[in-house]
Chain A
Amino acid sequence: MFLQAVSNRIEWALAPLDRLRAALYRWAAPVAAPLYADRPRRVRWLGAALVMLGWLLAATLPLWMLALAPVVLGVPHLLADLRYLVVRPGRHHQPWFWLSLPAWIGTSVGGGPVLGLAGLVPAVLAARGSLNRKLTLLGGWALLSALAWRDDLLFQLLFLHLHNLVAIAWWWVWRPCGLRDWIWPLLVAGGALALLCGAAQPLLDLTQGWTASWTGTDFGDQVAQLAPGVDPALAWRLVVVFGFLQSVHYGVWLRLIPEEDRPRPAPRPFRASWQALLADFGPGPLLAVAGLAGFILAWAVIDLPGARLGYLWLAAGHGYLELAVAAHLLADEPRPLAVRDRPAPAGPATGA
């Protein structure tokens, strides 16, 4: 009853935003309609815009980005992970998901990467693919586990940096695509390369982005966390690249994959998006996630660096979830099919 009332209130609050958006669409239609009407084209320009915005912010205000993005976008991106990798494909009805879950949760409470990787084993064994395919993937798991066992700090650092790129691979799983669709991933590669070559230095000098004392952190802290032991001349560039790729990671999960996954190709009103989210999760879990997001935000108001680290701890397991689902798909079929093209599992249908 209470949850229904909350949901009604949210829909009521979204109604004027939908009206505003509809008015904006009508106003901009003569120019912008071709950009919006076609899904692949929409994803192309949205992706390019997100990449350029992320690059500009990373190259001018990286400390702002690194401090604020995880506490604001982190929990919603975890929800998107869970929604598109687990709930919508119905993987929470499969036993392997529950067998792997303790490994991911264990990683989030300090269990280390070897434990996180252990979640791959049920994911691979439960797949329907050939024994050879499974053995190959289990060999990969053993190799990664051995590397993590040998030097878990180095493994975690590499995983932290590379995991941001995994989002692009996931986007490809959603829609294997033509050459033109690779414009924004190419922009990501070019942008990261430019930052690695030091392109941000003049911009940081110009914006005084080397410091942001209000964030409670500085470049020295970020270097110590994200690139310890690396030559100082390269370390700061890796920090900026991390900020850029993290923004790409968030953008893919919060904007591009939802665009690709949506059954209806046209943009969806806010109220319909809310109803679809409600249909996927139900009001109770959504309330719990909203509480968690609110907790992280409130924590950030009191202690921003602490809230960021707290979120990063909480999120430690989600990278291994992405890896395990990828391993399951790889073990399942000769080639991952576009998720949109998969046959729908049995379940109640919703609109929009």
Chain B
Amino acid sequence: MGRSIPNRGLMLALGVALTALAAYADIPPPGTDECRGKQAGDACRLGGTPGVCADKTCGRLDYSRGVPPKSVSVPCLRCDTEGDRSLTTGAQAR
């Protein structure tokens, strides 16, 4: 294998990657809380659709005592999109 000292292009790529890191914060990863670090009423996006963070009750699995896990309900912030609000589906967020 030969060695190659990278040119300015590689520096540029790294710069773009660093910029990308700064930009990522607006786009939540799938399956994670889109309202992480936000408060009720703050704007959010869910799958590209704008929404508002709202207080909800989330169902989740509690493995703290091992398996089988217990199903528990906990208060949570969830990104409520336009479609969700029109459906008024009740309290269970997931």
Task: Report A's interface with B, CB cutoff 8 A.
Answer: 87-90, 92-93, 98, 101, 105, 108-110, 152-153, 156-157, 201, 204-205, 210-211, 218-220, 223-225, 228, 232-233, 235-236, 261, 263, 276, 279-282, 284-285, 288-289, 291-292, 295, 303, 306, 309-310, 312-314, 339-340, 342, 344-350
Contact A105 B3 (CB under 8 A): no
Q: Is B29 located at the chain interface by the 8 A CB criterion?
A: yes
Task: Report B's interface with A, CB cutoff 8 A.
Answer: 1-7, 9-11, 13-18, 20-21, 23-27, 29-32, 36-37, 60-69, 94
**Smallest CB-CB separation from B16: which chain A residue?**
A105
Contact B31 A224 (CB under 8 A): yes
Contact B4 A109 (CB under 8 A): no
Contact B5 A280 (CB under 8 A): yes
Known contacts A105-B20, A219-B61: A312-B29 contact under CB 8 Å: yes
**Smallest CB-CB separation from B8: which chain A residue?**
A284
**A339: B residues at CB distance < 8 A:** 1
Report whether over half of chain A's contact residues are helix, strand or loop; otherwise say mixed: helix
Contact A90 B60 (CB under 8 A): no
Give bound CA distance, A220 to B5, whole Å: 46
**A281: B residues at CB distance < 8 A:** 5-6, 10
Residue pairs across A and B with Cβ atoms less than 8 A apart, 12 shown, are A90-B2, A92-B10, A98-B9, A105-B16, A219-B69, A223-B61, A236-B63, A280-B5, A281-B5, A285-B14, A288-B15, A291-B18
Distance in angstroms from B64 CB to nearest chain A CB is 5
Contact A350 B18 (CB under 8 A): no
Give bound CA distance, A339 to B15, whole Å: 28
**A342: B residues at CB distance < 8 A:** 1
Distance in angstroms from A216 CB to nearest chain B CB is 11
Top-6 shortest CB links A-B: A110-B27, A344-B2, A219-B63, A345-B2, A347-B4, A313-B24
Give bound CA distance, A43 to B15, whole Å: 34
Contact A232 B3 (CB under 8 A): no
